[in-house]
Every structure is written in C-alpha cells, then in structure tokens.
Amino acid sequence: MGEKMDTGKAREPALLSERDKRILSRLQLFRNVDLNNPAFNELLNQCSYRELKSGDALLSIDKENHYLYTVISGRCVVQLGHSDETPLAIVEPGECVGEMSIIDSRVPSAAVYAEESTLVLEIEKEMLWRMVGISHEVSRNLLYIMSERVRYSNLVIADSLEQQRKFQHHATIDALTGLHNRGWMNDVFEREIKRAERENLSLCLMMLDVDHFKKYNDDFGHLAGDRALISVAEAAKAPLRTNDLLARYGGEEFSVLLPETSMEQAVIVAERLRERISRADPGIHDGVQLPKLTVSIGIAEYKSGSSLKTLVASADVALYQAKNSGRNCIKIATDG
C-alpha cells in the first residue's frame, strides 16, 4: 500500500457489506461504479480507513503524497499552510483530496486538516490506477473531480486578479477627484519624458493651482472645497486630447503633461483650461450657491536632459509668477 502518513489511526475494514457499498456508492469517486464486481471489490478491501481527530493533517505542503483520500464522514479544510490560516475550501463527505499531487507527482500545493473528527478512505496511488483500469466509471469520476478542481482554481485566480486590479486602481487613482494621483504621475510622466528624449519630441508640463483655495475652505467649509476641486478636475479634462495626461499633484494643485506639444501649442491649451475652469459651476452646498474658481498656470517646456523633477520645478517657478501677477493667468518658465 505504500507508506502511510503518521497522522491519525488506520484500521483494515472487513469484507464489504451492503451498508459499506451504500456508503461508498455515495462518494464522488465511486458514483455509478459496480461495487459488486469481484475484482473491484477485492481492490476496495485492500484500502484502509483512516480516523482523524480535529486538527490532524491529512496533506502537507512539505511532504510527498501517495494517496487519494475521500471523506466518509466529518469535514476537512484546505489551507495554504498552517492550520490556523483562513481556509481556502471545505471538503465535505463524499469529496476527495490528493488527486492532483498523485497525477503530477509533486508535493501538495495546499495543506488539508481535519476540522472535526473525520473518517476517510485511503486509496494508494497504484491501487487507484488499478481501479481506473477496471472501471470506466472511476475514470470518468476522477476526470470530473479534477475538472471541478481546475475550475475552482481558475475562479480563485480570476478573483485574485480582480482584487489586484482593484488594489492597483486604488493605488493610482485619487479618491476625491477620480483623476490619477501623484504616484501614477511620477511613473507615467517620467516614461513620457524619456520617450521625448529618445525620439526627439517636443513636450510641455503645466502646473495648475486653484486660486485663494484656503480662503474658499475657510468661507464655505471643507466639503464645499471638495465639491469645488471635483468641478475643477472635471473642467480640466474637457479641453485635453486623449494622449494628454492629467493628475492631481496634491491639495489644490494639478499637473498636465502634453506630449508632442510645443510651447506655443501648450499656451493655447492652458488658456482653454483656464477659461473652462473659470466657467465651471461647483454647485450648491447647504443651500448656498458656491462661487466659481480660477486657476493660475505655469508652463515648462522640455529640453534635452530634463527630468520630471526639473520640469516640475521650472513649471512651479512660472506658477508662482502667475500668482504674483494677480492670479487667474498663465506664465511661461524661462528655462526647461
């Protein structure tokens, strides 16, 4: 029969009784199998039952497995490793475990523990293949069991990928405005700058800052300020091309990267942005019509050797010049 795991207590069953046959016929592996077949009956009588106490390991991720186990009574849990981890799946009476490690001759990919007092039928690898040779029904049942296992694994993988997509979304999207955030900007803007260097393309960066925003918050409250920032973000998206990149830099400051754009073209886009934002309606808050906002804009043009850091610094200098010139206007950096 091969080496048994040192967990639990094994006992040899008596010859199959009618009651045993009724119990076994309800197991996935023996569904529609002729248990009265003398050759098959003989193989079953060479298998062992194994009794497990709660917490006993049936399969381990660091030990080879040579058996297929089918649960007669009780219940087992499938876990990535230790018994105190959150279960991946529950193994109910009639279900099997261990078939995948038998097929691919690898250690189990997950551990299996008894959740309560459990009785399993233990079928050694060679015995299982002999059963398959005798009964087409066992072959069909084993294929069904494996297909269900693969289907479940695919669902787990799909769910994991969906969770990863959600995490990635939250990691790159500003929760308030729905724009990309500064982390995304640092990655994507830098790549566009490298592309401009590599392909000798023009490129401009704009920094936008909402005028008198602290006073706006003080006068109308932070919730009103949030509504105002959302309206600015929505207005800023409208005049941009599909390949232009917009992000919330932080607080009331926004950044726009304009690939393949000269300074002359960037000034035109900036003026459209400034004018569009100045007309945006923040809406009504607590029964009060919120006043419209304006932005100051600084623009820096890419020059060979520029980095995102130097472009932001240049655009910031121009931005503060715009603020010192009365706000609600555009200034151009004198260096890139």
pLDDT digits (tens, 9 = 90+) for 40-65: 888 888 888 899 999 999 988 888 88
Q: Do 86 and 223 fall within a single domain?
A: no
Q: In the chain, pLDDT over 70 holds for what percent of residues?
A: 86
**CATH number, residue 123:** 2.60.120.10
Confidence at residue 264, expressed as pLDDT on a 0 to 100 scale: 95
Q: Which two tokens stand for residue 193?
A: 């700058």
The percent of residues in the chain predicted with pLDDT above 90, rounded, is 51
- Which tens digits make up the pLDDT trace of 93-144? 888 888 888 887 788 888 899 999 999 999 999 999 999 888 888 888 888 8
Q: Which residue has the higher pLDDT, 258 or 151?
A: 258
Please list the active-site residues.
252
In this structure, the answer to whether residues 142 and 230 fall within a common structural domain is: no
The predicted model scores a pTM of 0.55
For 106-122, b/e burial (b = at least 16 CB within 10 A) is eebebbbbbbeebbbbb
Domain boundary among 135, 163, 191: 163
Are residues 223 and 188 part of one domain?
Answer: yes
The reply to whether 151 and 226 lie within a common domain is: no
Tell me, yes or no, whether 171 lies in a domain.
no
In a domain, 174, yes or no: no
Q: Side chain identity at 42, as an amino acid letter? A: E
φ and ψ at residue 244, rounded to 5 degrees = -75, 150
31 with 154, same domain: the answer is yes
- CB 236, CB 208: distance < 8 Å: yes
158 burial (CB, 10 Å; 0-12 / 13-18 / 19+) is exposed
Indicate whether 20 belongs to any domain. Answer: yes
Q: How many structural domains are present in the chain?
A: 2
Residue from 111, 280, 116, 118 nearest 208 by CA: 280
Q: Which residues of 178-262 form beta strands (DSSP E)? A: 203-210, 245-250, 253-259
CATH number at residue 211: 3.30.70.270
One domain, residues 157 and 209: no
Last residue of a domain, which of 163, 191, 217?
163
Examine the domain organization and report whether 157 and 13 are in the same domain.
yes
CA 81 to chain centre: 21
Residue 164 has a pLDDT of: 61
> Do the domain assignments include residue 277?
yes
Q: Which residue has the higher pLDDT, 101 or 150?
A: 101
Q: Which of 95-104, 147-156, 165-174, 182-191 has the highest mean pLDDT?
A: 182-191
Sign of CA dihedral 61, 62, 64, 65: negative
Mean pLDDT computed over 311-335: 94
Taking 60 as the threshold, does the pLDDT of residue 15 lie above it?
Answer: no
Question: In this structure, are 217 and 144 located in the same domain?
Answer: no
The parent domain of residue 254 ranges over 182-332
154 and 216 share a domain? no
149 and 186 part of one domain: no
Higher pLDDT, 267 or 287: 267
pLDDT exceeds cutoff 50 at 1: no
* 247 within some domain: yes
Judge if 138 and 201 occupy the same domain: no
Same domain, residue pair 144 and 227: no
Q: Which of 132, 163, 194 is the last residue of a domain?
A: 163
Q: Where are the beta strands (DSSP E) in 53-202?
A: 57-59, 67-73, 76-79, 89-91, 96-97, 111-114, 118-124
- Average the pLDDT over each of 149-153, 167-171, 264-268 and give the range with the smallest value: 167-171
In a domain, residue 146? The reply is yes
- Is 114 among the domain residues? yes
Confidence of residue 4 (pLDDT cuts 50, 70, 90): very low
**Would residue 1 count as lying in a domain?**
no
